Chains A and B, each alone.
Chain A
């Protein structure tokens, strides 16, 4: 299991919010599912720290980008589900665009043309 040890908290925080929002595009989910989806999709490169997942979820809810409700999980347990709001969807688009620009800009600085092309087309 390759772990990505990222010490840049601010970067991670920004990206975590974005990834949570992205995960919720496909449907409502509770905390465990969100973490799992992120890990699976990133082919286990990213591991979601629980210590930042829950504060992040609360933060997103404060900003009204997600809403929450209590429902039953796949295993019929009481779980708190999060749903993407309209504002959240807009925020996701904004965040994604910003992220792509950032990747491209960093790529240009570092000078890896292919990586930029890759990042841009994927």
Chain B
């Protein structure tokens, strides 16, 4: 055997023929010389030589790589069969491309987000440590991972030895102003302890990372991320050592982070040292939770034992601070899981949905192949009778499904490239730190999917069509009255499975969709239509006193209210539905002191200007709104929400009572009003809320404006920003969007899981109905003669119609029953993703059953109708 000969077999065979010819003529010539007659000479030569064909065959065989030879033959045959029915092939390939494409892109996202470790040094030993509260209320929304208080972190780091090192980080926001009149912008910031970057194993691309001496309260070192460095500083490395202005304060650029470092997200544009800019006493607090702790495990210590040390320290801290929210426990989480915390479940569910669709696609192609197998029954039987082994026949048919799946796989990979691109851009909540892209593993996955799909789709039909029963078709007379029963059963079984899986998908999609609609239509508790929202933050450097802040805010409100088309303007620290904004503990002066071990009451803290509630149409339930003279030192007033009043003042009026908030200037505040509840985030339970006067300047310096307009709120966004720029050209404005957009963005996960699962479910329904139609058409053709006989014997057309219709609907109904039964169990898995929707929501079930029956009836109607139109004479003469 030789490769070169294998590919030149034709040529070498011709040469051999020539050699044999030469031999024959030589031999004949010799025989003639011996005195034989020419005929005898020929005859003797031929006798002596033997059969030249067998020599040629021997040599041909000798030059053959038999595996390749067979594969080549199968391939050629499969290509011919597929091109003979281009319609079938194209449909099958398109179905597989769609299914494999969807599966591959989902896997790409899952791999990038959940599986591929971040490009840090030895990422397997990195772990994030959170605080964990044990009480039931903290855990009602799932296991709680609470941000860490700085003082807790310092104690952990000092008192435990299981970790090589621990670093801490927090998030911030800065106004970045230009040195030479560039536009100001609001940039997201990370603040990391000096050892954070060495611990992660991230070197600076230019310059250096922070030093220990820079990590102090008045530290002014800053590191730029690559994207800001490229965008704002034109990628000029000479920026290192120069100054930039954050919140009006000069910071020295000490380094630039490498391009690949986008942790924790792309919004983080600059990094400052952890302690830089924090109020002095904050670092001593055990109950101010705002930090993320990253730890690197020592190689010789197990995670469990390292954590138990931290746990012991934490429990001690808890016992020392019984009234304060200091957690009892700690909880570890990997960096990947931490980034993907909100998308993990949706992604896994989408992955399951897409796997279901792939299964349906395979079953459909299997179904189509079974139908073709039926048409080629005789061919298979003849080949079998001529000595083809069963394995050979199965291999030949598998080659066909393999070709379909490989072509589909190639199409699918192309499709998935586009789909992944779209998904990573459109789904804003996906963490991007690792970058979402196709890599070798994904390609391997796509190949594996294509091959397993080929096996799944090809093996079943191939085995069934090559069994002993196949040879019966040779014995059968040309008039087949009953059709092939076993094959029909096979197809119906495939179909039942297909429909059952479709039903599960449809019900899952229905539940997610209903939950999403519920989310969308949730009443936030205030007006959201025609409201523009935007944020700004007044830097301390320029607006050092509350008076200065008030002058700016009141001037801005006055200017905005004077603009045409504006109905009302609200100014607060944060708007409803746009986030938590922080909470604080308080005590109620009129109530008896707490029992030991009882936690202090807690509520969200917000600031509101006098016009806030009326502009947002939050109803006043008791008391009064803030007034213009509730300002500065006259403003120890507070307005509470309805839930606050119910929860902390059951059976009494809160008006006139006082609360003491240690975190806010350690002062007493008199409750002057009770307002309606608002949601801090759609889909989350309502929390008690307290509003302090914006003009008191007690809460913070940030401002969130809500501008209610007559018509499209985005139309006035430029005019509004111009008013801000007129007052302070260095003040950047961020998050300019309508309130509905802002709320919609927070529902991104729900929207994507609902719409994608629905898309997969509808596609599956389509596939299943095509399958139903195909099976029924096939059965009808098989039964043409039978139907002819029935009609000839007097069956009415509507009887025939009913017969065929019920024949087709039976697998649909069985599948429906199976699918619904399975759904009752399977949908429990998505319970935690459902908002205000039960997993056994009857409306969804009824809608799915109804839709499926409708579609199934439609798919069966056409073949049934055609059957009822049969001309009995022609039906009997056919075949």
A30 adjacent to chain B (CB < 8 Å): yes
Q: Does B29 sit within 8 A of A, measured CB to CB?
A: yes
Q: List B contacts of A31 (CB < 8 A).
A: 19, 22-23
- Rounded to whole angstroms, the CA-CA distance of A70 and B49 in the bound complex is 21
A4 in contact (CB, < 8 A): no
Stretch at the interface among A10-18, A19-27, A46-54, A106-114: A46-54
Question: What is the CA–CA distance of A75 and B24 in the complex, to the nearest angstrom?
Answer: 12
A32 interface residue, CB < 8 Å from B?
A: yes
On whether the beta carbons of B50 and A32 are closer than 8 Å, the reply is: no
Residues of A within 8 A of B19 (CB): 30-31, 54, 79-80
Find out whether the CB atom of B15 lies under 8 angstroms from the CB atom of A50.
no
Q: Contacts A77-B22, A78-B22; is A32 near B27 (CB within 8 Å)?
A: yes
* Binary per-residue interface labels of chain B (397-434) against chain A in the complex, 1 for a CB within 8 Å, 0 otherwise: 00000000000000000000000000000000000000
B15-35 interface with A by 8 A CB criterion:
15-16, 18-20, 22-23, 25-27, 29
Residue of A with least CB distance to B1 = A62
Q: Is the CB of B2 within 8 A of A62?
A: yes
Contacts of A80 in B (CB 8 A): 15, 18-19, 22
B56 to chain A, nearest CB (A): 9
Q: Do most interface residues of chain B lie in helix, strand or loop, or is the interface mixed?
A: helix
Taking A31-B22, A75-B26 as contacts, is the C-beta distance between A54 and B49 under 8 angstroms? Answer: no
Chain A residues near B50 (CB-CB < 8 A):
49-51
A55 on interface, CB distance cutoff 8 Å: yes
Partner of B22, one of A30, A49, A50, A59: A30
Q: Is B614 an interface residue (CB 8 A)?
A: no
Asked if A50 and B59 make an inter-chain contact with CB atoms under 8 angstroms apart, the answer reads no
| CB of A100 closer than 8 Å to a CB of B | no
A residues near B49, Cβ cutoff 8 Å? 50
Contact of B23 among A32, A55, A62 (CB under 8 A): A32
In the bound complex, CA of A79 to CA of B19 (Å): 6
| Contact of A54 with B25 at beta-carbon distance under 8 Å, contacts A49-B50, A78-B18 already known | no
A55 engages B59 (CB within 8 Å): yes
- A101 at interface by CB-CB < 8 Å: no
Taking CB as reference atom, which chain A residue is nearest B12?
A: A58
Q: Which of B5, B29, B52, B55 makes the CB contact (< 8 A) with A55?
A: B55
Determine the chain A residues whose CB is within 8 A of the CB of B51 once the complex forms. Answer: 51
Residues of A within 8 A of B62 (CB): 55, 58-59
A56 to chain B, nearest CB (A): 10
Evaluate contact between B58 and A73: CB separation under 8 angstroms. Answer: no
Q: Do A62 and B5 have beta carbons less than 8 Å apart?
A: yes
Q: For the complex, is B48 an interface residue (Cβ under 8 Å from A)?
A: yes
Given A32-B22, A55-B55, A77-B25, A50-B16 contact (CB < 8 Å): no
* B residues near A55, Cβ cutoff 8 Å: 55, 58-59, 62
A80 to B59, CA, bound (A): 16
User: Size of chain B's interface in residues, with CB distance under 8 A?
Assistant: 25
B478 at the interface (CB under 8 A from A): no
A51 B55 Cβ-Cβ under 8 A: yes
User: At the interface, yes or no: B213 with Cβ under 8 Å from chain A?
Assistant: no
The answer to whether A75 and B23 touch across the interface, beta carbons within 8 angstroms, is no
Tell me if B54 is interfacial: C-beta within 8 Å of chain A. yes
Question: Which residues 67-102 in A have Cβ within 8 Å of B in the complex?
Answer: 73, 75, 77-80
Separation in Å of the A45 CB from the closest CB of chain B? 16
Q: Determine whether the beta carbon of A75 is less than 8 Å from that of B54.
A: no
A81 to B22, CA, bound (A): 11
Minimal beta-carbon separation of B81 from chain A (angstroms):
36
CA distance A59 to B29 in the complex (A): 28
- B59 touching A58 by the CB < 8 A rule? yes
Cα separation A23 to B22 with both chains bound (whole Å): 19
Chain A residues whose CB sits within 8 angstroms of the CB of B27 once the complex forms: 32
Contact with A along B59-73 (1 / 0, CB 8 A): 100110000000000
A50 to chain B, nearest CB (A): 5
Contact with A along B539-553 (1 / 0, CB 8 A): 000000000000000
Bound Cα distance A58, B2 (Å):
11
B22 touches A73 (CB 8 A): yes
Which of B26, B59, B63 is close to A54, meaning CB atoms less than 8 Å apart?
B59
**What sequence of 0s and 1s flags, for each residue 31-52 of chain A, a beta carbon within 8 Å of any chain B beta carbon?**
1100100000000000001110
User: Is B48 a contact partner of A50 (Cβ separation < 8 A)?
Assistant: yes
Which of B2, B12, B23, B63 is close to A50, meaning CB atoms less than 8 Å apart?
Answer: B23
- Whether A75 pairs with B58 at a CB distance below 8 angstroms is no
User: How far is A87 from B48 in the complex, measured between Cα atoms in Å?
Assistant: 32
Question: Quick one: closest A residue to B23, CB to CB?
Answer: A32
Alpha-carbon distance between A59 and B61 when the two chains are bound, in angstroms: 12
Contact residue among B12, B26, B54, B55 (Cβ-Cβ distance under 8 Å from A32): B26
Nearest CB of chain A from residue B117's CB, rounded to whole Å: 51
Interchain nearest-CB distance for B13 vs A (Å): 11
Q: How far is the CA of A55 from the CA of B50 in the complex (A)?
A: 14
Q: How far is the CA of A31 from the CA of B12 in the complex (A)?
A: 15
Q: Which residue of A lies closest to B27 (CB)?
A: A32
B22: which A residues are within 8 A, CB to CB? 30-32, 73, 77-80
A-B contact pairs, 17 of them (CB 8 A): A30-B19, A32-B22, A32-B23, A50-B23, A50-B48, A51-B50, A54-B19, A54-B59, A58-B62, A58-B63, A75-B29, A77-B26, A78-B18, A78-B22, A79-B26, A80-B18, A80-B19
Question: Footprint of B on A, CB under 8 Å?
Answer: 30-32, 35, 49-51, 54-55, 58-59, 62, 73, 75, 77-80
Given A30-B22, A32-B27, A58-B62, 4 new contacts (CB under 8 A)? A31-B22, A51-B55, A51-B58, A55-B58
